[in-house]
Amino acid sequence: MKTAAAIAAAVRGGQVTATALAERTIAALHADAHVAVTRVLVERALGEAAAVDAMIARGKDPGVLAGVPYGVKDLFDVAGVTTTAGSAVYANAAPASADAEAIHRLKAAGAVLFATLNMDEFAYGFATINATYGTTRNPHDPQRLAGGSSGGSAAVVAAGLLPFTLGSDTNGSIRVPASLCGLYGLKPAHASLPLAGTFPFAESFDDIGPFTASLEDMALVWGVLRNEPLAETQGEIRIARLGGRFCENAEPAQLASIDAIAPDAPLLELPDIARARSAAFLITAYEGGHLHRETLSTSALVYDPAVRDRLIAGALLPEQLYAKARAFRAEFLARLNALIVDFDVLLAPATPCTAPLIADPRIMIDGAFSPARADLGIHTQPITFTGLPSLAVPLRRPGQLPLGLQLIGKPGGEGILLALARRLENEGFTGVTAPERTFAGELT
């Protein structure tokens, strides 16, 4: 797959026009067989590509992402397009009046927006099983789930249709599909990237972030979204491994890789980790339920029943229980910060298993089958509860289904995560390996 950086260099250098790339990319997206794309934004893409070519013709620099195609999860506002958040509830809502801030920044850097992408309805799930748009298929095995809730965003990158995409992560919705689709996926420290113009789920945990097939692109897109470069550390990185619940539901390959990466690193057990996940679940349910309470009172039957019932349950939670969960979070964070003060990065599995079959979307948790839609985030949800940044990295597994790890840092530590990820890739532990496809819009 050609990187976003290489595509931008070719466009800026005149080896290919943004318009030629756009025409090929549009054709490829229309032919998507992974149920990943909800809309191809043909007129917008051609217009933005033409604007990039016009700037180059005038001798101006269109930006570091000149002509680079990308797509966004269908909860980002796109001017003139209805933001559905993956639901029939808002299918006929008024179009967005302006782009989300993240899209605005990418456009200013020369990137070209091509598509809105499939997701779990209102981002409430880890599987991208969508009652309106269908179930997104994993490019490594179309009979398997891509993960969610940003499954469409992950699938199009893994399939080679787009070099990068944006997703959102409330409890693991970037890291889960990144793990199952074999990509890099970043959930930054909470509130590090602009949320303006994105459909909310749970304010306490919502974040946005990119999917990429290379670390170079991850750093490049981060720099544009953050309005500052991703400063990588050059010094020693102090690593710890997470034990306890993080070891109880994991693939042997994940645990073996963690041990091989940092054989002498201490094994930490986070305090009350099961309770932390429960509290995160409760806070998510309460905030999501109350966000939808008014709409549910008038349009409940339009919701996906599986999502509707969870939102109604959240809307009925008493405020006192929500306040208790938030108080526990403050206490948990104080203990966590004391525990990890001497470490820069924590290692943990990103998902408990490889991608489940669409025909049987269940996974084994604590020795019993559990719905993948609810429990694929068993390892990501407690990390979201902390607000810490987490980078999903793909283990190098040629010929096998993808599996990912989480590199978990401290607030502002995204550069350290990227530096460690580069080291792990150079040492052969991680990296995008398959399916090996060239970027769909690449000229031969």
Q: What is the CATH number of the domain that holds 427?
A: 3.90.1300.10
Q: What is the pLDDT along the chain (444 residues), one digit of tens a residue?
A: 489 999 999 999 999 999 999 999 999 999 999 999 999 999 999 999 999 999 999 999 999 999 999 999 999 999 999 999 999 999 999 999 999 999 999 999 999 999 999 999 999 999 999 999 999 999 999 999 999 999 999 999 999 999 999 999 999 999 999 999 999 999 999 999 999 999 999 999 999 999 999 999 999 999 999 999 887 777 899 999 999 999 999 999 999 999 999 999 999 999 899 999 999 999 999 999 999 999 999 999 999 999 999 999 999 999 999 999 999 999 999 999 999 999 999 999 999 999 999 999 999 999 999 999 999 999 999 999 999 999 999 999 999 999 999 999 999 999 999 999 999 999 999 999 857 443 344 432
Using CA atoms, how far apart are residues 292 and 310, in angstroms rounded to an integer? Answer: 11
Would you state the pLDDT for residue 444? 29
The answer to whether 93 and 338 are in contact (CB under 8 A) is: no
- Residue 121 structure tokens: 């309805």
Our count of domains for the chain comes to 1
**φ and ψ at 373, to 5 degrees?**
-60, -30
pLDDT of residue 222: 97
Quick one: pLDDT at residue 177? 98
Question: In 10 A of CB 315, how many CB atoms?
Answer: 18
Beta strands in 282-389 (DSSP E): 345-349, 362-365, 368-371
A 10 A CB-CB count for 317 gives 17
**In which domain, by residue range, is 431 found?**
1-444
CA distance 73 to 406: 22
The residues annotated with a catalytic role in the active site are 73, 149, 173
Residue 67 near residue 441, CB atoms below 8 Å? no
Q: Which residues pair with 137 in a beta bridge?
A: 145
- Residue 95 is given by DSSP the state P
What's the confidence (pLDDT) of residue 434? Answer: 59
Q: Report the distance separating Cα 236 and Cα 179, nearest Å.
A: 26
Instruction: Report whether 443 contacts 6 (CB < 8 A).
Output: no
Residue 390 CA to residue 171 CA, distance in Å, equals: 11
Measured distance between the N- and C-terminal CA atoms of the chain, rounded to whole angstroms: 13
Are residues 68 and 7 in contact, defined by beta-carbon separation less than 8 angstroms? yes
How far lies 230's CA from each of 208, 220, 222, 233, 346, in Å? 16, 8, 7, 10, 19
